[in-house]
Structure 1
């Protein structure tokens, strides 16, 4: 379940959350006792597998806390654990003990078994007192009027043992209800934020993970760049260079014919050389276009997408809500990524129409490519979508695919782009979504 967004509904749902959290504090107390007992017997061999089992049980409990606290606060709390190695039990126990997240879980376990118990008990106690003394007069008049009251109302200085006397406790119940309504949620949210601090990854862990991601993206980018250079070298060697070498031989033969006073044959060879020169020039143009399409420099990203849509065999509509111009490297990456997705749609989607929507969300450029094909698109090693993800990873971009069987398919590319020239006029192409 998730916490309702409406403030009134959320406050009314909080007692259920508190009951759930209160039950977890009881489990925390049992796990804390088991961990202490296991720590005593861990010096014996029999205590090692028990220690591993207890530590893994604490992780399960901590993950349940992360999920519940995250749903209550509306945030995501990722698990900060490193992959567990496949090793002997004693090595696994040693690895779990050395894991920093284990001790943070244990700290939250001790806090939740004590402070968490008191916080949730206080919250539920105030709520229960408010409800109890508000409904007690009604229950004494209707349900328990002919029997001895089971309710305890003897405060020592006075015994509220009749319906009329219990009405004197209604103001006390209302005060507890106001306190519960006003400060109960704040108390639970404060305690939940304390849990986020201990259960979530530390700043050092987040930085390490980020550095790892950037290193992986850098290695992928370097690999793609090296592969692209090899492709250019191969295309030049097998294409334009071979044509230019043949052109040189042809011109040499024409020169020899001219020296032998055979102008007609020489003119024919010069004509062939002229055609070979045109073919070589066209190959070089195609090669340069693959490095950086001239349409990007001439018409910008939006114009390049529209040109791409006109050249595509399927009907493609472009909806441009992007204000400003993108940096050239990002523009080229977004262009080639979109082109790769359109190529995948042509090969696999069996679609009848495609729509491209480009817009900005704060400091991010979002490109959505939708088709009405058969669906089932997914990331596969070496596939087109995997290549798009690797290309955009160099710019800290992400790719998400929503493609149920039977379609439709929506591929969403998100690329950070803080540097955008807002002075460029906004171009929009209207289209009707399908």
Structure 2
């Protein structure tokens, strides 16, 4: 569940969220007390397993805070923890938890939320409660608080006792002022506090940089492995295909030469005809091999033209919608082309679709390619599968792949590439009109 986007419904929903946050501050106070007691017990052996339990409980609480704050602000707060070894001893687990910077950031937010968070949410709910209570109090005095001839004194401020419905009407301006303050500044007040939580609960720049380096290293290794596998495939195709045909062609021509020396021109002519056919077959295999390395249509007509040519050769009806008027660099075009080709191949094999649509678009700083089909759905990322290969191919360009494929379809595969690599100065595709 997330906070509604409409400003009015969002403000009306915030008190419920503040109640949830207020309850989490009470949990934070209990965990903070437990952490203090654990800090005392940790000098004894019994404090070590207790510390592990308390720190893991704080992580559960912090993750709930990440989820609640993220839904309130409409952002995603990544979990910054490093993987924990499953078979480590209890003292090793405690040491790893204590040495991790995210643990201490969680404890810092725990202390802040148990004190400042308690006051922030109490103040927000207090202003909201005062506004509501004093607006409906005249009605309450007439109904609930009216007890016989002596009504219950509910507003005895010492200076003046607002004990009748008529007198309580004098408090309505005060209630309206609280309501106006709650409406105008209440959400900003909660969002300010939530942004403070994002600073502590989110990963640090060092953690993000480490994760980024790890992702780039993995992408580099996968790209190098894919390149090596591609080179082996090309070598195998050349050895088993074109090279074998050329060797057979050489033997055939040698036999024809021998027949000519024996004055048997008819049989030599037949062998020359076979050699010509073998030469044509070898050329076709070489063309197919070159097309698999870098399709000539991609260099001649750009990504859109190559996708349209791919659509014409596809066994299913494929429509291509191009909203990208800029020329992509050749490596990026090749990655997008082969990734789209792999997705279309998967659709042919597994989707049982009747039609496919490919949409190429520019979304701010990204190039987005959407492939939609009306098949049976259920597409997922499987190790070694086609979609996994697409993800690994695009990862080398800092690209991503998302799949929405409920059972029964339809399936939408969204491939995203950074537009920073787009060469906007090229006029290769600039003459194409924008369909929109």
TM-score range, shorter chain: over 0.9
Partner Cα distance (1:211, 1:420) in 2: 26
Partner of 1:96: 97
Structure 1 gap segments, 5+ residues each: none
Residues 302, 427 of structure 1: 8 Å contact kept = no
Distance 2:79 2:334 in 1: 36
Deviation at residue 105 of structure 1 after TM alignment: 0.4
1:376 Cα offset (Å): 1.7
1:7 is matched with 7
Q: Does 1:27 align with 2:33?
A: no
CA distance in 2, matches of 1:421, 1:299: 17
Deviation at 1:232? 0.9
User: How many angstroms apart in 2 are the aligned matches of 1:360 and 1:429?
Assistant: 13
The one of 210, 216, 234 aligned to 1:208: 210
Moved more, 401-410 or 289-298: 401-410
Q: How does 1:103-118 map to 2 (within 5 A)?
A: 103-118=104-119
- 1:357 and 2:389 aligned: no
Correspondent of 1:421 among 421, 424, 434: 424
Question: Could you say which residue in structure 1 is the equivalent of 2:190?
Answer: 188
1:138: which partner in 2?
Answer: 139
Partner deviation per Cα, 1:221-250 (whole Å, 9 max, x = no partner):
110000111111111122222222233333
1:239-318 matched pairs, under 5 angstroms: 239-259=241-261, 263-318=265-320
Query: What is the SS of the residue equivalent to 1:83?
Result: coil
Larger deviation, residues 247-256 vs 73-82: 247-256
Out of 251-260 and 191-200, give the one that drifted further: 251-260
* CA displacement at 1:60 relative to structure 2: 0.8
State the 1:266 CA deviation. Answer: 4.3
SS at match of 1:126: helix
Q: C-alpha offsets along residues 362-398 of structure 1, whole Å, 9 cap, x if unaligned?
A: 1222222222222222111111111111111111111
**Preserved contact between residue 124 and residue 182 of structure 2 (Cα < 8 Å):** yes
Decide whether the 8 Å contact of 2:153 with 2:161 is kept in 1: no
Per the alignment, residue 126 of structure 1 pairs with 127
CA apart distance, 1:35:
0.6
- Structure-2 separation of matches of 1:26 and 1:287: 67
Partners of 2:125 and 2:353 lie apart in 1 by: 57
The 3-state SS of whatever aligns with 2:371 is: strand
Query: How far apart in 2 are the matches of 1:80 and 1:399?
Result: 23
Residue 180 of structure 2 is aligned to residue 178 of structure 1: yes
* Counterpart Cα distance in 1 of 2:24 and 2:246: 77
SS, match of residue 45 in structure 2: coil
1:14 positional shift: 1.5
1:330 corresponds to which of 329, 332, 343: 332
State the SS of the aligned residue for 2:98: helix
Structure-1 separation of matches of 2:227 and 2:236: 14
State how far apart, in whole Å, the 1-side matches of 2:164 and 2:432 are: 76
Alpha-carbon offset, residue 67 of structure 1: 0.8
Indicate if the aligned counterparts of 2:325 and 2:434 stay in contact, CA closer than 8 A: no
Aligned partners of 1:89 and 1:150: how far apart in 2?
60
Question: Could you say what secondary structure the match of 1:369 adopts?
Answer: strand
More moved, 203-212 vs 127-136:
127-136
SS of the counterpart of 2:432? coil
Rounded to whole Å, the distance in 1 between the matches of 2:34 and 2:65 is: 19
Per the alignment, residue 70 of structure 2 pairs with 70
Total equivalences in the alignment: 430
Task: Tell me the equivalent position of 1:45.
Answer: 45
Question: In 1, Cα distance between the equivalents of 2:313 and 2:433?
Answer: 20
Residues 385 and 427 of structure 1: CA distance in aligned 2, closer, same or farther (over 3 Å): farther
Change (3 A) 1:411 1:253: same
Work out the CA distance in 1 between the residues paired with 2:17 and 2:374.
Answer: 42
Take 2:314 and 2:166, find their aligned partners in 1: how far apart are those partners?
Answer: 84
By how many angstroms is 1:59 displaced? 0.8
Superposition deviation, residue 263 in structure 1: 4.8
Q: How does 1:82-93 map onto structure 2 within 5 Å?
A: 82-86=82-86, 87-93=88-94
